[in-house]
Structure 1
Amino acid sequence: MPSIDPSNVKLGVGHTDTTGVDKEALIAQFEQFNNLEASEWAKKILERPYLGRRAVSVIISGAGLAGITTAILLSQKVDNLTLTVLDRNSKVGGVWATNEYPGVRCDVPSHSYQLTFDPKTDWQSAYAFGKDIQAYWQSRVEKHGLADKFRLNHSIKEAKWDEPTHQWHVRVEHNGKEEVLKSDFFISSSGSLQTAKFPVQPGFESFKGPKFHPVNWPKDLNLKGKRVALLGNGATGVQILPELIKQGAAHVDHYVKRGAWIGHTLFGVKAPGYVDYTQEEINAIQSSEEYHKYRSSLDSKLHGKYEATLFGTPGYKAGIKELLALMYLRVGENDELFEKVVPHFTPGPRRLLPAPGYLEALALPNVDYYKGDIERFTENGIVFDGEERPVDVIISSTGYVRGNGYGATPNYEIIGSDGYTLRTHFSPLESKKGYSLSYLGVSAPGFPNFFYTLSVNSYLYCGTPPITVEQQSSYIAKVIRKAQFEDIASIDPKEKPSESFSRRIWELSQASSITKGGIGGYFTEIDRNGDTRVRISWPGTISHAISVLREPRWEDFNYQYLNPDDRFGYWGNGKTWIDDHPGDKTFYLSKPGSVKVRNLHEGWISLPRDGPPEMVPLGVDIRA
């Protein structure tokens, strides 16, 4: 049977042939056809631009995990986009680029601490070291062709919303010179670990020996035979202590303000322990099918802890018992030391720390553990409990500046409508509401065309940072696409819906273990009424957040239009670009079997104002 030529298929066959007719003579016979001049409106309509998304610009602050993930997703999900990523550091990677202290590694399993759609499958350790994580994120910037979008060694001094132009004016310093960059949208992905915090007790500057924060670890530091003071038992301090012993420190005085809860892993016994993978194990998951099974199994084990984080539930009580048993064994069943290291507060207010080797190090004869407040520093050491203890080196693992909006916002001011700053907005005692008012953990009322990732009420229970940012970035992309398509000049969440979201946060705060214990911290804030509120967490599980963020509630936003008197002005000339240009005018047709009926005509249409449209069905990236 002869094949059918799809370009012909008898098109035009079977019609009356009019080629031999003098058509001009025919039309001249009729007076009613003498005046067929186009109306002024026909000209006006056809002179308008095509229906499609106008060009927009986006500036992202921060080139760490969140900024890179957001840049990759927006570059693929938003048409007509000019993208710029600013970072004050000399290389991408955020904390994994700046922290090079001994033993720095992630406490989230390697295979879950990466992009869901573009993983590295040959991690050598269950928990990757900092340099390997930085290399991964650097490679993804290059792989997705975004290196030229990143402007490193650029320190943002201020980001200010300019109402007349409906743009963000971002003042940046580079090589000692300042310039102002302008963008339609501004996204803060700077993270919370920005400004190193040092001891507040007197005399720290007078100490004559080396003293530094781990983020500034000296490259030529030799600790062999030295007496070292390690201040702090946060996520960094507990990693450093075992390394000091390995590096040959003669003695370590470990000063902590309070005890810390130490666990098997951040995700409990279901997650892998701190082990290296054999080459055989790495090879076993290299096929895409096998890797997907492995990744799915791993992520499933990290979920399911929501109820156990609510104070007093059976799961929460069982968790305390497990932590106590683990800590007792790891201090060598030393009753005196065990009593000292167990915190006086219940688990929740501070981050659970896996800390392999930390408790074991505390039991060593050349490590002394001092719990309480340092009195002061001297030229030669530290005064604690009335006694001066000489040391050669002080490592101030005392965290980062937080509170009063710091940590929740970058180390520069973000100024929204009416001169109101995000730092004030996220400083409960100074804010308009008396608490940090967020909208869905991605934006805030009064800050048009502004979004943030991994900050106030952003973090997903049992989820990992990459999947969290992927959800947030996808949501942000939808909002930007709507603004592009409908000629919306600015968009920001209304106050009432933000208050409704905040009600969920208040309710969670009453139940969560995070708010109990009476010690405060980065996870919480004290509002103007004196109540402790959850500051960091999303009020539900990861599947809960994925479901909520999938479809924006467009009724929750304030809109300002480029043409406020004509909301449908963006309809343009009644055509899209493809109507007047060669290309696939049947982009809406799907190959049989390529899309499930339940997904048919869902997804979104890639429709730049000056290019052809493409259907992007749910779950399918036709541009990959």
Structure 2
Amino acid sequence: MRRLKYNFQSVYIQTRLRQFKHISPSTTPIGYIWLAHHVPDHPTHPSGNPRLVIYTFSTTKMPTGQELYDSLPNLHFPDEPNTAAEEILKRDFAGHRKVRAVVVGGGLAGITLGTILPRKLDNLDLVIYERWPETGGVWHRNTYPGVKCDIPSHNYQLSFDPKTDWSATYAPGQEIKSYWQGIEKKYGVDKLIKTNHDIQSADWDAEKGKWIFKIKDLNTNTEFTDEAEFFIQATGILNNARYPPYQPGFDDFQGPKFHPSQWPKDLSLKGKRVALIGNGASGVQILPQLLAQGVSHVDHYAKRGTWISQHVFGKHLPPHREYSPEEIAELRNTEKYHKFRKDLETRGQGNIASDVYGSEQNRQQLNAFLLLMYERLGGDEELFKKVVPDYAPGSRRFLPAPGYLEALTDPRVSYHLGTVKSFTKTGVVGADDVERPTDIIVASTGYTRANGESHAPNFEVTGLDGTNLKEHFSGAGSKLGYTNNYYGITSPHFPNYFYVLAQNSYLFCGPAPIAAELWSTYISKVIRKVQLENIKSLVVSEKAALGFSRVVTELSKASSTSRGIDGFFVEKTKDGEYRIALAWPGTITHAVTLLREPRWEDYEYEYLDNDNPFSFFGNGHTFLDFAPKGDKTFFVQTGVPPKLLHEEYLTIPRDHVAEGYEYDGTGDFLKNHHVGLDDDEDVEQAKEVSL
């Protein structure tokens, strides 16, 4: 017995050759070859009855594959074409199809979206429209004296790209603007942003499965139309100044008058008498600056008192101060900075119990606020009773307001409680009917929140069945008498629409950048699903949104935030009750946990082919199967713990074979790596090879 290797159709196989006595007289000696691997005839096969497949070959000449095929008529292909195969060959590779997304807003949220989406998605055509000449959102528009963040600087930034050399615990506005514009340039977001572009309207086209935008280019004063599968709102909630004041006579006032977001350049305050209206986040920062710039007197008008705390999230975070050069140098150490940052985040986090009206923690928090305010007012009991609000803490922002309470004790400041009644050519008439002369009016009257304007963009948005977004977000004026949204990220009746940092998007005791990261990641997952599964549109169901809204309503009934005042954090329902409008109904860890995996069952879907929702299976291949330099075994990795195994997301495009993409096995693509298929013809050839 001999062991030989025969070349059978270009494949080397191990054979066993056995000579037999019975040889056909018409041939030379014949070898009988047993191909054990072709049929279940291996000696160990469980059937116990192995069969031999015997082929006869001349020992002097091997037959060709065609000769073997010709000798077996039962294997001959039919003459008619295989139409089923042709149909499959026409299909695309499985993968993520190309879609377009329009982000409206170039502030913190828009820049975060522009940084994250292109790195979590492939085949995405992304554009960001910003109506102002520069990006930066409120940090571009607000340049009044003393503008700064009331969140610690080291919290108010992206988690994955921190700035370690902030100048102070609470950074000035210009430094914050520089950070975000630096992120914009570092990650190429500036190439996606079109500034001086004002959206006029956005309308859902159900037939196309796209949003249709009318846009005004303020550079050329021309209008044009854009369309995209996705509309992502990142306009923020501080985009429409509540100005001018509604009281009569404001237009008659003959001196300078303005909102803080419109602070005049080179304005001299020295020796001036100023009327400062409002004690919100801007007003409390402006008052100490007016004194520092040498005004002769300030008449400070406040509709009601405001809660002042050491920090916007409570007493556990540092007061305002500048960092020393030594401290800044020390924080350049990556390990030390990471520990410092985590400690700062931990101290800033709260728990729901502190917001539960009447709870022990809520009472302790109230007592701490009262003590802090009394001490900073120098024990002035009369002023203390004026300044302390008559509503429970929560419905308006807690304000650190360094120097504000101290400024109220300055003899150059008069504090007037109550609503301004009117204006004259030369002064302001307060709630006490007394007219006080003034040279300048600073109307720090905040931003509009009525009729849905705080959470909807300043342009008209029309969804399914003509549903208007401003009306939908208008609380008492909406269809249900309160705003019905889902997960603080989308709403029923508005397909392929998502928002960041608007209704119920802000984290309880959490900085806005972290919220923007979380919601950007969630949106990425939704877009990936649409790209992969040939989904034309998806919209959250009314039932699912009602379920989320129930959670918000139940928390509102227990919360100190919704007690007795129409503040910025709440909305008034048609029943006259106050309901949480700004915050996510849980802590940071709560949001991170629940947003990690989208509840796909909460959405309703329209497919590109509703008769065949599984058309995305395509031709049974991804392009990686035919990319010579592509890693077809990217899923084989070493050092991956079982709990993380096959958990990473994939961004495998359908049509990037021609563009030269190589998958690196880490959930991203290495661009400009040639994979051997250069043009559309090569892509078609790859499809032909696929069967």
TM-score greater than 0.5 by the shorter chain: yes
Larger radius of gyration: 2
TM range (shorter): over 0.9
1:76 and 2:119 are equivalent in the alignment: yes
C-alpha separation between the residues in 2 aligned to 1:587 and 1:114?
37
Structure 1 match to 2:684: none
Structure 2 match to 1:180: 225
Contact 2:663 2:670 in 1 (8 A): no
1:217-252 deviations in whole A, cap 9, x for unaligned? Answer: 000200001111101000000000000011111111
Structure 2 match to 1:290: 336
SS at match of 1:168: strand
1:458 and 2:500 are equivalent in the alignment: no
Of residues 587, 606, 610 in structure 1, which corresponds to 2:655?
Answer: 610
Of residues 620, 623, 626 in structure 2, which corresponds to 1:574?
Answer: 620
CA distance change for structure 1 residues 396 and 295 in 2, over 3 Å: closer, same or farther?
same
Structure 1 match to 2:82: 39
Contact 1:361 1:367 in 2 (8 A): yes
C-alpha separation between the residues in 1 aligned to 2:158 and 2:509?
16
Structure 2 match to 1:161: 204
Structure 1 match to 2:70: 28
**Structure 1 stretches (4+) deviating beyond 4 angstroms?**
11-16, 18-21, 612-617, 620-624
C-alpha separation between the residues in 2 aligned to 1:383 and 1:452?
41
C-alpha separation between the residues in 1 aligned to 2:357 and 2:526?
36
Q: What's the CA shift for 1:200?
A: 1.1
Of residues 81, 85, 100 in structure 2, which corresponds to 1:57?
Answer: 100
**Pairs within 5 Å for 1:485-496:** 485-496=532-543
Of residues 213, 235, 245 in structure 1, which corresponds to 2:259?
Answer: 213
Contact 1:207 1:379 in 2 (8 A): yes
Structure 1 match to 2:418: 372
SS at match of 2:624: helix
Deviates more, 1:225-234 or 1:19-28: 19-28
Contact 2:119 2:668 in 1 (8 A): no
Structure 1 match to 2:428: 382
Deviates more, 1:382-391 or 1:107-116: 382-391
1:228 and 2:274 are equivalent in the alignment: yes
Structure 2 match to 1:417: 464
Q: What's the CA shift for 1:194?
A: 1.2
**Pairs within 5 Å for 1:10-409:** 21-35=63-77, 39-175=82-218, 176-197=221-242, 198-384=244-430, 385-409=432-456
C-alpha separation between the residues in 1 aligned to 2:433 and 2:83?
92
Q: What's the CA shift for 1:14?
A: 7.1
1:532 and 2:532 are equivalent in the alignment: no
1:105-157 deviations in whole A, cap 9, x for unaligned? Answer: 00111111111111111111111111111111111111111211101000111
Q: What's the CA shift for 1:36?
A: 5.7
C-alpha separation between the residues in 2 aligned to 1:599 and 1:13?
40
SS at match of 2:452: coil
CA distance change for structure 1 residues 105 and 327 in 2, over 3 Å: closer, same or farther?
same
Deviates more, 1:29-38 or 1:446-455: 29-38
CA distance change for structure 1 residues 260 and 490 in 2, over 3 Å: closer, same or farther?
same
TM superposition score normalised by structure 2? 0.85
Structure 1 match to 2:19: none
Structure 1 match to 2:494: 447
Contact 2:635 2:646 in 1 (8 A): no
Residue identity opposite 2:465 in structure 1: D
Residue identity opposite 1:276 in structure 2: E
SS at match of 2:451: coil
CA distance change for structure 1 residues 342 and 153 in 2, over 3 Å: closer, same or farther?
same
Contact 1:587 1:615 in 2 (8 A): no
C-alpha separation between the residues in 2 aligned to 1:155 and 1:120?
31
Q: What's the CA shift for 1:267?
A: 2.2
C-alpha separation between the residues in 2 aligned to 1:75 and 1:61?
16
CA distance change for structure 1 residues 380 and 117 in 2, over 3 Å: closer, same or farther?
same
SS at match of 1:110: coil
C-alpha separation between the residues in 2 aligned to 1:495 and 1:36?
54
Q: What's the CA shift for 1:21?
A: 4.9
C-alpha separation between the residues in 2 aligned to 1:530 and 1:379?
38
Q: What's the CA shift for 1:615?
A: 7.6
C-alpha separation between the residues in 2 aligned to 1:534 and 1:561?
35
Q: What's the CA shift for 1:583?
A: 2.4
1:81-105 deviations in whole A, cap 9, x for unaligned? Answer: 0001011011111000111000000
Q: What's the CA shift for 1:25?
A: 3.2
C-alpha separation between the residues in 1 aligned to 2:577 and 2:302?
27
> Tell me, which stretches of 5 or more residues in structure 2 are unaligned?
1-9, 16-56, 672-691
Contact 1:459 1:537 in 2 (8 A): yes
1:522 and 2:568 are equivalent in the alignment: yes
Contact 2:662 2:669 in 1 (8 A): no
C-alpha separation between the residues in 1 aligned to 2:374 and 2:546?
44
Contact 1:382 1:391 in 2 (8 A): yes
SS at match of 1:270: coil
Contact 1:605 1:615 in 2 (8 A): no
TM superposition score normalised by structure 1? 0.94
Q: What's the CA shift for 1:613?
A: 7.6
Contact 1:606 1:613 in 2 (8 A): no
Q: What's the CA shift for 1:35?
A: 3.1
Structure 1 match to 2:20: none
